[in-house]
Amino acid sequence: MRAAREASSERDPKRYLWVLGLIAPSCALLPSQLVLWTGAEVFWWIAPIIVLIVVPALDWMVGEDGRNPREQDYDRLSADRYYRWCTYLFLPIQLIGLIIACYLWAGDELSALDKFGLASTLGVVSGIGINAAHELGHRVEHMERWLAKIALAQSGYGHFFVEHNRGHHVRVATPLDPASARLGETLYAFLPRSVAGGFASAVRLERDRLARRRLPWSSPHNHLLQAWAMTAALFGTLTAVFGLAIVPWLLLQAVIGVLLLETVNYIEHYGLLRERRPDGRWARCSPRDSWNSDRLVTNILLFHLQRHSDHHANPGRRYQTLRTTPESPQLPAGYATMIVLAALPPLWRRVMDHRVLAHYDGDRTRANTAIGR
């Protein structure tokens, strides 16, 4: 048994770090206890503090991890169920934290500001929960795809299950993709375009899929209705138990979760454009078409989401097998830091625009700048 553990650790030196990805949903469990024991009400805001302050600092101190899994270990790593449980366990922790938050929102002990802080913490957890759904939703296993829809229930963003897999991955790094930000586009212009465009695309994709199978929109096989029904059931049950007072806070945390997800979308493909083939069609997505980051701390927290170049080039790879490649354009910092920069458009453009142009040898026409290219 010891030899097996040592062999597993040799195949993946980060093996026992992945469980730290559960820190994110655990943030929803901590505020009440931390405030109780310390009296410091700032802990209602613990998730934004960790994501926007602590993680960027740790990313800077710990640095990058450029190690790749060996190709001969790929099959064994992919089949190792330990990694799956690291994502499975995200869901019950996330749900328990939401129930605790609803109990606190329903009471009169917290001020409106404290409830807002708690909603911000739950919103960050909800947004990172979409990342867990992202990992599960790419799998072919029936159970994991259902778990992805469950993970999306808290954010009410169930259409992500359809749009990300069948829309974004097909059109990524082209002007046709609402989730691919253009060079010079601010985060605040991108957000409504991506939210509205992603929703409309998901509806079209699912409508067309059902039509091909000769099924009506009301079919129980409609993935969108399944996901939205889970949100309705979750919010409806919580409201029935804790009362209408929790509804504004439930909605607020969902909005914060969605904004966090879409901000990450903004970062992941900013200004990047796939090449065209001689027949005018878009070339297959390559590692050059997504921004990459090897900052270790954020990669552990987000289950290697920052190895986004390999994910798009090889979407079937599980998170523990994703690689970094020399041709992938590199972000100057981890996602946690880049989220802060994205919120400040002049600073973002000063940091990122010249990197986009350098990626294309100074040729602005090769970047993603406008619809209709």
Q: What is the pLDDT of residue 3?
A: 39
Assigned token pair, 243: 């009362």
Digit-coded pLDDT (tens) for 217-237: 999 999 999 999 999 999 999
Torsion of CA 43, 48, 51, 57, to 10 degrees: -70
In a domain, 312, yes or no: yes
In a domain, 34, yes or no: yes
Question: 81-88 vs 112-137: helix axis angle to the nearest 10?
Answer: 150
Average pLDDT in the 24-28 region?
88
Average pLDDT, whole number, for the chain?
91
pLDDT > 70: what percent of the chain? 96
Digit-coded pLDDT (tens) for 191-217: 999 999 999 999 999 999 999 999 999
Distance CA 249, CA 164 (A): 27
Instruction: Label residue 28 by pLDDT band (50, 70, 90).
Output: confident
More confident residue, 182 or 145: 182
Is 80 exceeded by the pLDDT of residue 371? no
Average pLDDT in the 336-352 region?
96
In a domain, 110, yes or no: yes
Is 80 exceeded by the pLDDT of residue 103? yes
Is 50 exceeded by the pLDDT of residue 7? no
In a domain, 55, yes or no: yes
DSSP notation for 303-331: TTTT-HHHHHHSTTS-GGG----TTS-B-
Q: Which of 371, 372, 373, 36 is nearest to 185 (CA)?
A: 371
Distance CA 16, CA 193 (A): 39
Q: Which of 158, 254, 234, 149 is nearest to 202 (CA)?
A: 158
Cα first-last separation, the chain:
57
Q: Give Cα separations from 200 to 38, 207, 267 (angstroms).
A: 47, 11, 22
In a domain, 252, yes or no: yes
Is 50 exceeded by the pLDDT of residue 5? no
In a domain, 298, yes or no: yes
Q: Which of 160, 100, 103 is nearest to 127 (CA)?
A: 160
295 beta partners: 64
Q: Which of 316, 321, 296, 315 is nearest to 306 (CA)?
A: 296
Q: Which amino acid is at 133?
A: A
Is 70 exceeded by the pLDDT of residue 8? no
Distance CA 151, CA 136 (A): 9
Distance CA 302, CA 131 (A): 7
Distance CA 132, CA 305 (A): 10
Is 90 exceeded by the pLDDT of residue 48? yes
In a domain, 354, yes or no: yes
Q: Which amino acid is at 109?
A: E
Assigned token pair, 335: 């996602």
In a domain, 97, yes or no: yes
Count other Cβ atoms within 10 Å, centred on residue 61. 8
Average pLDDT in the 292-304 region?
93
- Find the domain containing 213 and state its range: 2-366
Q: Which of 131, 103, 99, 105 is nearest to 118 (CA)?
A: 105
282 beta partners: 276
- Least reliable range by pLDDT among 28-42, 73-87, 92-106, 197-211: 28-42
Average pLDDT in the 123-132 region?
91
pTM confidence score: 0.92
State which H helix or E strand residue 280 sits in.
none
Number of domains comprising the chain: 1
